[in-house]
A and B are shown apart, each in its own frame.
Chain A
Amino acid sequence: MGYLAWRNLTQSKTRFLLSVGGVALALALVLVLDAILAGFEGPLAAPIERSGADVWVSQKGVRNLHMVLSTLPEGVVEVVAGVPGVASVTPMLYTTQMLRGPRGSRSSYVFGLPADAQAGKPAGAWPPGAGEVILDSGLGQVLGLEAGDTARVFGRNFRVAGFATGLSNPLNGVSFLRLEDFARLRRSRDTVSFVLVRVGPGRSAEEVARRIEEEVEGVSALSRAAFARRERAVVRDMGADAINIMNLAGLLIGLAVMALVMYTATLSRRAEYGVLKALGASSGHLYRVVLAQALYSVGLGLGLAVALTLVLPLVLSALGLNLPLQLTWASLLKAGGMALVVAGAASALPMRQIAGLDPARVYRGGAR
């Protein structure tokens, strides 16, 4: 009976395109939103993951970077250094600033690190000299800055000493100053924002983090992996409601399109379903035809939606837009599940029609 469903679906090209296209657009909306979120989440924690620090120590209660303020007394650095298992400590100052360049301005994480930093420094052009800044290459591109140019940080001019790679995320760029410059401009000589810890050989980051929290008062300590996980979770939580609402919108659009198409498709074949019923097809047979038709539609729609989501980054790139998209298996499973829900729900209404068909109408509906 599957072939009857397929032929019914494809006989009218317009209805077929409407059905599959409508579902594809709705599911593509769901997939693209998820891909955008995943694309944001991916590089979001890059400054943490590439820091080389095994443990991030912060003011008590601070457990991520984005939109936080962490202040620790400078003396904490030495105390942390004395905790068993700690191999090295690096003090770090941190804030979020708008950086300006000839092409425009952009929000950036600004890190201040000592010249001899053991962790947190970017690979490549380190250290910056006094009055110099190192930018992530993505940020430099956005601001239109090249090495030797001048960038405005904290309202002062800094010479661009070089570029780091792979640290920017869609929300923020990343830039590095010397700790002394940062402290002088922010007047934070006796404080640090974070202490970056490297653990000794054979020690686990989680264990050392736990010991730091036990032995140092007023701090939180998280392993790099845990700190990065929290960073992603914050952004996900910030966008979750909007994403969920749009996913629901996608589901409802898909459902409405499918239900309408399935209903009209069944209505237009009401007489034929009546003939099949008269010939001896049970309602169950006919339900299966309608359900198979819906499943074919959503299956093709899902395939098309995945293709659209995969092609979209290429289109955006060609348009000069930098929107990272990352299609995940979890997102595919979610869209697949939604597609099944849409197919089931969209079939319900036509099934009621079929159940109510009187097979004897096959004679009464004739020319007589």
Chain B
Amino acid sequence: MRTERAATLRVQNLSKRYGSGETAVQAVKGVSLEVSPGEIVLIMGPSGSGKTTLLSMLGALLRPTEGRIELDGLVLSELSEGRLPDIRLRHFGFVFQDFNLLSALSALDNVAIVAELAGLGRKAARARARALLEELGLGARLHFLPEQLSGGEKQRVAIARALVNEPALLLADEPTANLDSHHGHETMRLLRRIAKEQGKSVLIVSHDARIQDIADRVLWLEDGEFKEMRSLATDPVCGMTVEREKAVSAQWEGKSYYFCCRGCREEFLAGPQRFGKATARERE
């Protein structure tokens, strides 16, 4: 596995518009962004803010209406449609919320097949996949089908798959959303280790406020554009990140608490001592 790589993502004035005329929807508006090698960038924002559209464009899955995307010196936004699959295969590692492993293949083959797609022979692909999975602590699960793996194990297989072609950039879409707290932390630590030890750039889109702990930078996307980071708080009941200005709030023992909805507020007020350790966190 390569340990150093000078990978930088540069995004300039990126926009995406769906439809035209009066029905046109501007999903992303003039977004600019730079990600350095070894940097972990977390993009947060409310539902419908354009995170998925932005991630799809950054991953060469969707063509921008305007703007420029440059990865490792390659201007993706200028490449023909036919070249994009190969670019995705060699320059990106994708980590999905639902893991998206192939149900008929073992953990080993799920990783090896992506290396084979990139042109590696079957034997070499399997050897590389084996080494990666063993490195991620899955040496005893190589021949297990996805249905035989736990959520955390599935996500580690997915991360191994994302790394097998030694990409410059890892794009992770809600990587902890389907994991319990323990496996969520494990995945976060793994992503950080990959970024810091291997110099990979990691771009994460997530609602999970815990990821802020490992991120080097947190960006807030709202209405299709990056906005100045607002004062954010964690709902002590459900753990969701909420904007203080828009959230429902309550006072307890002289402190302010912020909630995603009235239901969480009422649950909190019914027994605040149960959530007493949770505190609102300022983010800049």
| Chain A interfacial positions (CB closer than 8 Å to B) | 1, 3-4, 7-8, 11, 271-272, 275-282, 285, 359-360, 362-364, 366-368
Minimum CB distance partner of A274 in chain B? B100
* B56 interface hit (Cβ, 8 Å): yes
The answer for the CA separation of A366 and B105 in the assembled complex, in Å, is 21
A-B residue pairs in contact (CB < 8 Å), sample of 25: A1-B113, A1-B116, A1-B117, A4-B104, A272-B103, A275-B100, A276-B117, A278-B59, A278-B61, A279-B88, A279-B114, A280-B87, A280-B89, A280-B90, A281-B117, A359-B61, A360-B61, A362-B94, A362-B96, A363-B55, A363-B61, A363-B173, A367-B178, A368-B47, A368-B174
> Does B188 count as interface, using CB distance less than 8 angstroms?
no
Q: Are A366 and B98 in contact (CB under 8 A)?
A: yes
* Closest Cβ neighbor of B61 among chain A residues: A360
B85 touches A3 (CB 8 A): no
* Chain A residues in 8 Å Cβ range of B100: 271-272, 275, 362
Q: How far is the CA of A11 from the CA of B86 in the complex (A)?
A: 29
Sorted nearest first, the 7 A-B pairs with minimum C-beta distance are A280-B89, A7-B104, A280-B88, A360-B61, A11-B104, A275-B100, A360-B56
Residue pair A280, B105 in contact (C-beta under 8 Å): no
Query: Which residue of chain A has its CB nearest to the CB of B116?
Result: A1
Chain A residues, Cβ within 8 Å of B52: 363-364, 368
In the assembly, what is the distance between CA of A363 and CA of B62, in Å? 11
Q: Which of A8, A277, A368 has the most CB of B within 10 A?
A: A368
Q: Could you tell me the distance between the alpha carbons of A281 and B165 in the complex, rounded to whole angstroms?
A: 13
Contact code string B192-221 (vs A, CB < 8 Å = 1, else 0) = 000000000000000000000000000000
Other 12 A-B pairs with CB < 8 A, given A3-B109, A278-B61, A367-B98: A1-B113, A4-B105, A278-B88, A281-B85, A282-B85, A285-B117, A360-B62, A362-B94, A363-B55, A363-B96, A367-B178, A368-B47
Specify which chain B residues have a CB less than 8 angstroms from the CB of A360 in the assembled complex: 56, 61-62
Query: B142 within 8 Å of A by Cβ?
Result: no
Complex-state Cα separation, A362 to B92, whole angstroms: 15
**Quick one: given A277-B85, A362-B61, A363-B56, are A368 and B97 in contact (CB under 8 Å)?**
yes
Cβ-defined contact, B117 with A280, below 8 A:
yes
CB of B136 within 8 Å of the partner chain: no
What are the residues of chain A within 8 A of B104 when measuring CB–CB?
4, 7-8, 11
Nearest chain B CB to A16 CB, angstrom units: 11
CB distance from A1 to the nearest CB of B (A): 7
Report the separation of the CA atoms of residues A343 and B60 in the bound assembly, to the nearest whole angstrom. Answer: 34
Q: In the complex, A11 Cα to B145 Cα: how many Å? A: 11
| B102 interface hit (Cβ, 8 Å) | yes
A280 near B114 with CB under 8 A, answer: yes
Residues of B within 8 A of A276 (CB): 102, 113, 117
Residues of B within 8 A of A367 (CB): 97-98, 174, 177-178
* Cα(A194)–Cα(B45), bound, Å: 100
Total A-B contacts with CB atoms under 8 angstroms apart: 84
Question: How far, in angstroms, from A47 to B125 measured CA to CA in the complex?
Answer: 66
Please give, as numbers and ranges, the residues of chain B lying within 8 Å of A11 by CB-CB distance.
103-104
> Does A366 lie within 8 Å of B173, measured CB to CB?
yes
Q: Tell me the nearest residue of chain A to B99, going by C-beta.
A: A275
Contact with A along B112-130 (1 / 0, CB 8 A): 0110111000000000000
**Complex Cα gap A8–B109 (Å):** 13
Q: How far is the CA of A300 from the CA of B142 in the complex (A)?
A: 29
Q: Is the CB of B56 within 8 A of A279?
A: no
Q: Which of A1, A7, A277, A360 has the most CB of B within 10 A?
A: A360
Residue of B nearest to A3 (CB): B109
CA distance A279 to B85 in the complex (A): 7
Whether A280 and B102, one on each chain, are in contact in the complex, defined by CB atoms closer than 8 angstroms, is no
Q: How far is the CA of A362 from the CA of B114 in the complex (A)?
A: 16
Q: Which of B152-197 contact A (CB under 8 A)?
A: 161, 173-174, 177-178
Contact between chains at B86 and A7 (CB < 8 Å)? no
Nearest B residue to A284, CB-CB: B85
Contact of A279 among B94, B105, B109 (CB under 8 A): B94
A272 and B85 contact, CB distance less than 8 A: no
Which residue of chain A is the closest to B47 with respect to CB atoms? Answer: A368
For B103, the chain A residues whose CB sits under 8 A away are: 11, 272
> Which residues of chain B come closer than 8 Å to A4, judged between CB atoms?
102, 104-105, 109, 113
Q: Which residues of A contact B174 (CB under 8 A)?
A: 366-368
Of A8, A280, A363, A364, the contact of B118 (CB 8 Å cutoff):
A280
Please, which residue of chain A has its CB at the minimum distance from the CB of B118? A280
* A-chain residues with CB within 8 Å of residue B98 when the two chains form the complex: 366-367
Q: Give bound CA distance, A275 to B156, whole Å.
A: 17
Q: Given B61, B87, B105, B116, which contacts A7 in the complex, CB threshold below 8 Å? A: B105
Task: Judge whether B97 and A279 touch: CB under 8 Å.
Answer: no
In the bound complex, residues from chain A placing their C-beta under 8 Å from that of B118 are: 280
Which residues on the A side are within 8 Å of B62 (C-beta)?
360
A275 neighbours in B (Cβ, 8 Å): 96, 100, 102
User: Which B residues from 23 to 77 make CB contacts under 8 A with A?
Assistant: 47, 52, 55-56, 59, 61-62
In the docked arrangement, what's the CA distance between A366 and B206, Å?
13
